[in-house]
Structures are given as C-alpha cells and as structure tokens.
Amino acid sequence: MAITQIRPPLTDTRKYLKTETVNDLCHCSSVTKLNCHLTMSVHCILALLILVLTLDDQVYSGKITGGHEAVPHSRPYMVLLERNMSDGKKKYCGGFLLNEDFVMTAAHCQAKSYVVLLGAHNVNSNSEIQRIFVEQAFPHKQFNATSFVNDVMLLKLTTKAKFNENVTAIPLASHDSGTLPKSCILSGWGRTDKNNNYMSPKLMETTVTLIDNKECTMENFYCSQGDTGPAEGDSGGPLVCEDGKAFGVVSSAVTPHSGGPDIYRYSKIPDSRNWIFSER
C-alpha cells in the first residue's frame, strides 16, 4: 500500500495510508506465478487469507520502526478488512470491533464490498478466523476526502461476531477532556519495512507518543511524529491509549513543507461519539 500524494497546501503535503492492490494475492494455486516465496499445503483452504501482498508502488517511505510482534490474540478487537474494489482487485485496511454487529475503520477505506476477518494473529495459519461479510457501510456524513476530517466509518456485519477469548470488542474513549493521552499503542498487519514489499502476516504493534499540534487540534486529529508510526496497510486501525480504550482511527500522514519526520494523524473518536451512537 503506497501513500498517494494529495495536492499540497502551502505548508505541507497530505497523504493517506492507502492500501495495496491485491490481484497479486498469493492463493494456493498462484504461489509460483507470483513468486511469493511461500510453501503451502495442497490442502490449504482458499478461504484462508494469505497476507503476503505485493505493493502497487513504492512512494511511501514510512514504516513501523521499533515495533514488534504482538502477543498472539492480545488485541482481540483487531480486524483485518478485506475490501473488494469495483475493478475486481482486493485491498486491505485495519479496523476494530465495537460490538457483535459493528466494526469501525477509516472512511477512506470505502470499497464496493467488504469481508472482515476476526480472531486473526498469523493470517497464514489455519486458525479459527471468523470471516463475516458486511451488510452496509456508514462513512461519516461529513468526511472530507481532501482534508481527511471525519475519516471514520462504521460497518454493519451480516451476522453477529462470535465472541470468545480471541474475539472481543474494545471500549471507546469518552468525550475529549482537552488533555492528550500520554502513551498509545498501534497494531496492524501493515508493511514493517520500506525495503520489504509485503505486509506482515503476523499482527505487529508499536508505541507512539502524541504531540501537541495546533493544526491537528483544529482539524480534530490526534497526531504523532517520528520514525515510529503506522505504515501501509494500517489505515483504519485503532489508536489505543489509557485504560485500553480506542481514542483514534489511523487516518493520514502529513509531510511538513519545512522538512522533518512525517506527522501521523488519527481521527478523534471522542469528537465522533454522537455520530457513532446515532448510526448504531
């Protein structure tokens, strides 16, 4: 998933964490053709998602540095979102489970149709992953595809998620108190290295520190900056902070015109709570 450049304003360049094109997904029958370097059983289940995905280009240089593999199933709210595009390709985003019926992700992750994967850690293993189709998508009515303000979306599942030790919901942060959380965690299956053309088959996580940025506050984002942050394939995942609550949704990145590390932006969940509960 490469970052797509947006027409820049005077002070910075905005870009979203675009997901990769997946007509090159490694199915059981296409490993040799795609040179995915996987040894697979001839009995593997085609329904099992093989997340070794070739990126469609190499524009974005960001990566999750200082990250590590999450303890298996320690983030049972995490969702891998399979997006079926109108051109027949597949792309991927992250997401998180709000309850048995709804998943939250980023509004820029819109597609023709969706399947959510629940209970995953290593998506290459034949584990008990729940695959559920999405009945209806509800992007925020005031989502701005240029500024990425209100970059949140709800997905209603066709059938209820089956809660177990590997599949549970995450609580949402309450209304904004005006103070920044001290430390937050990001999780996802996105790309882990700018020199690696594949998403991670295992769930990764890293810690970020939020910054006090006037532009972020005005546009209703939480922001972090530096070498550690979300990468390709992580859009729509949760920013989990104090008390294990979801405070934000991975949205976009800004490259300062004056140079320096990218600023990563997360749509504020506290600012969207009224909309979230009106749609559920």
pLDDT tens-digit series, residues 155-189? 999 999 999 999 999 999 987 667 888 889 999 99
Residue whose C-alpha is closest to residue 51's, from 161, 146, 125 = 125
pLDDT value, residue 137: 98
Give residue-wise pLDDT tens across range 208-225.
999 998 889 888 999 999
Interior angle at CA 220, CA 217 and CA 223, nearest 5: 65
pLDDT of amino acid 260: 85
Superfamily of domain 170-270: Trypsin-like serine proteases (2.40.10.10)
**Mean pLDDT, the chain, integer:** 79
Would the CATH topology of 76-168 be identical to that of 170-270? Answer: yes
Please tell us whether the domain made up of 76-168 is placed in CATH 2.40.10.10: yes
Domain ranges of the chain: 76-168, 170-270
Residue 66 region, left (φ>0) first, then alpha (ψ -120 to 50), else beta?
left
pLDDT at 108 over 90: yes
Please answer whether residues 106 and 93 qualify as being in contact, where contact means their C-beta atoms are separated by less than 8 angstroms.
yes
Q: What is the pLDDT of residue 39?
A: 33
Q: Is the pTM of this model over 0.85?
A: no
Give the 3-state secondary structure of residue 130: strand
Residues with catalytic annotation? 108, 151, 235
Q: Kindly state the average pLDDT of the residues 21-37.
A: 31
Give the model confidence (pLDDT) of 66-79 as tens digits: 588 999 999 999 99
